[in-house]
Each structure stands twice: as structure tokens, then as C-alpha cells.
Chain A
């Protein structure tokens, strides 16, 4: 991290956009309500569809206004890596926190975006304020975050932050693992009963980029349209399987859930399973192969007759 150039966010954005080094700049702006932020997607003067505006003073003023609106602080909760698919094959600059950078590395691993098209602006982050528990508390995902500094960046917009020591597993997870299957089922049933199948978790998840999701399929209709928890279970169990070894634990699904379903619990469990079994952490190394896309001839065989 030390070798990477530390820059001012707005100055850099202005330079990248006006010189045409990038067509699109993805960052944050303040939103209308307290503690909220929104993504700010700025199209550069030389971006697609804006070619004639290059000499247009009004467009220039507009661009300057938008660049002025860029912010980065501890309210910026959104995982902007989710926007990268929308600008595939275009030159993009993106502001990423530690977690977002891992999601982005996941996309690079899976060849969803090209590193050549990206200018990555790393934002060291101490954790994002939990809007639901106002009083300077940060999100649970941030408390347990193992990567406060971006794993990959071309520029950084702040000094690296220290990485606190973390327990291997949280007390809540430990308790649940030790609990009886009936108790675990009760917990799962309780969580799934809250779900209204709005698919916000899927839409917010950078790893959920399939153009056609199984949840939207009607032949076969994997997920029914009733409020029987069995439908929510079908959706979440399949989605959890799809995210096995890919989820980075950014917590976007939990932050976006209108019903406060604790999906992190289940993703965390699978993530620690994959780490323990295959020594793999998602989104750390661009060149690594996801473990569920590979095999080992000496993998665990004990559960098979």
C-alpha cells in the first residue's frame, strides 16, 4: 500500500474525467437523509454520447458540479463494485473500500471485468456507520472486517488504517455451531420467515451478476411465489450455494434487507468452511482460482458411502 500514490479524490476525478482517461467515474455523494449516501456516477466529457459536449461550457460546469459533490467518509456504505457490470468494456474509475475491492477482485477472477478498463481508487476504511444503530456504532460486517485497506488500488485517497485483531469465529457463530440441529433449524426458520422475497440481497450483491437468475425462472420455477418460508428457503439455500467460496462478506445483503434477515450468518459459515477446507479467501488474489471451480483428488471423502 505504501508505494501507491496518495491523492485527493476530487482533483483526481477532475483530471481523469477531463482528460478522457476514464469515461465513467463511480463514487459516492451525500444523499438526502442524514447518514445516507448514494452512488454518484459521473460521465466524462469524452465519454460515449458526450463527444459533442467537450467544448460545451454548460456541460463543463455540470461536470465540475458533479465532481464537487464527490465525497468519501464513514457513511459510504454501498458496495460500488456492483456497478461495474453496467459499464463493461468502458474505461471506469471506481472508489473502493477494502470490502468493495475484494468484490471487485472476485469479478476480475471470474473475468467479468477487465483490469485494463479499470482505474481503482482505494479508500482505506475504519468501518461504516450503522444507520440502524445510530450512536457511532459500525456495521457488524465492518466490525469483523479482515481487510480495512483495499487489496488492490492504483491510487489511494487516505492513509492506511490499522487492522484490528479478529477472533477466528464470532461468539454468536460458535454458539450456533454448538447448538442442536433443532435449535439451528428454529433459527433458520425464524430468519427465513421474515424474508419477503424482494431479492434486494441478490440485487445488491456484487457476486450475483447472472443476467438470468434462477429465482426469476419460470421453467422450472425454482422459487414459488407464496409466503411459505419454504420458498424463501429455496431461494436462499440456492443463493448460498452459488456464493460458496465467492462471498467476501461485505455485508451489502444485510444492509439492504428491508426485513433484517441475518443472511451474513449463513454466508459466514460457508466462508469459514471454505477457508478451513481449502485455505481460500474470496477476493484476495486476482490470479487465484475459486475453490468451487476446481477440485482436489484428496478432498474430504468421509461423508460419502
Chain B
């Protein structure tokens, strides 16, 4: 069991906004920064585009952690998208905490296009946190999908 556990790698879904965080990830790559390869990246137009349903659905489908990353407050390409996102995610976080989903399954960050190093660091931190939590068992669906 312990051997299996040591082989287990967390699978993380990262929603990155096109204008800041995705460019930040690009910069991390171009700068040859090392960070854990556990995240699958989905490029979205804005962090405000991320429906909380996407996050819940990803967890239901068995992903171990979700990261949503957007522009810093005040820097949104659409001016207010990330402000709206912040309220929405605060509510989601409140709800997930209250129902007992582990803290850290769903995480949020602001990463600008110039912050390649911050992106690499966020990736490392998120991956470590989710690794410490272990596989996602709570919201994941166990029965056959119909």
C-alpha cells in the first residue's frame, strides 16, 4: 500500500486566464523554470469565465485538485472579471469547507504575465498541498457513469 502510495501522482486541473496566468505559465516555460508536471492546463478567457460547476465536475470526474488562476485585481483584461470571480470563488470555498471537502482541493491564485517564477512556485505549492491530501475520494464518483 505504501509502495503504491509513493507512486501515486496527484492529477491537477488548472484553469488559467488567457491574458495573465496562461502567459505567466508560458514565461515559466520559456525561462526553463522547473515545476511539477502534474497539472493539466485549460486556457480560459478570464477567471470570471470559470463556472464553479467546472470545478465541481472536475472533482466528480476524479481529478485530485483544481487551481484557478487569473490576473491580479485591477489588471483584468475585461476590467472586472476577476473581481466577480473572487466573490464567486469565496462563496464556493465557503461551501466546500462547510460540506467538508478538504481545504486545498480547490485553490486560487493571481499570476501576472510577468510572473513566470511565481507561476512555477504556485504550481509546486499546489501540487505539494494536493499530494499531502492524497487522492480525491470525497466528491469523486465511484459508480459507473451513466
Within 8 A of B (CB), among A143-193: 176-177, 181-188
Docked complex Cα distance between A254 and B52 (Å): 24
Q: Is B132 engaged at the interface, CB distance under 8 Å to the other chain?
A: no
Q: Is B110 engaged at the interface, CB distance under 8 Å to the other chain?
A: yes
Within 8 A of A (CB), among B86-112: 86-103, 107-110
Smallest distance from the beta carbon of B141 to chain A beta carbons, Å?
A: 4
Task: Specify which chain A residues have a CB less than 8 angstroms from the CB of B40 in the assembled complex.
Answer: none
Q: How many residues of B contact A (CB 8 A)?
A: 43
Docked complex Cα distance between A114 and B16 (Å): 40
A238 touching B139, Cβ below 8 Å:
no
Task: Specify which chain B residues have a CB less than 8 angstroms from the CB of A220 in the assembled complex.
Answer: 57
Docked complex Cα distance between A292 and B92 (Å): 12
Task: Specify which chain A residues have a CB less than 8 angstroms from the CB of B46 in the assembled complex.
Answer: none
A273 touching B94, Cβ below 8 Å:
yes
| Given A222-B57, A226-B144, A234-B57, A305:B86 Cβ within 8 A | no
Is the contact region of chain A dominated by helix, strand, or loop, or is it mixed?
helix
A177 touching B99, Cβ below 8 Å:
no
Smallest distance from the beta carbon of A9 to chain B beta carbons, Å?
A: 40
Q: Is B56 engaged at the interface, CB distance under 8 Å to the other chain?
A: yes
The one of B95, B103, B110, B139 in contact with A240, judged by C-beta atoms closer than 8 angstroms, is: B95
Across chains A and B, which 3 residue pairs bring their CB atoms closest together, nearest first?
A185-B100, A295-B83, A184-B100
Contacts beyond the supplied A226-B144, A270-B95: 4 A-B pairs with Cβ under 8 Å: A181-B101, A220-B57, A303-B93, A304-B86
- A-binding residues in B (CB < 8 A): 52-53, 56-57, 60, 73-74, 80, 83-84, 86-103, 107-110, 122, 125, 138-146
- 15 sample A-B contacts, Cβ–Cβ < 8 Å, listed by A number: A181-B101, A181-B102, A184-B100, A230-B142, A230-B143, A240-B95, A241-B52, A245-B91, A270-B91, A277-B90, A295-B80, A295-B86, A296-B87, A297-B73, A303-B108
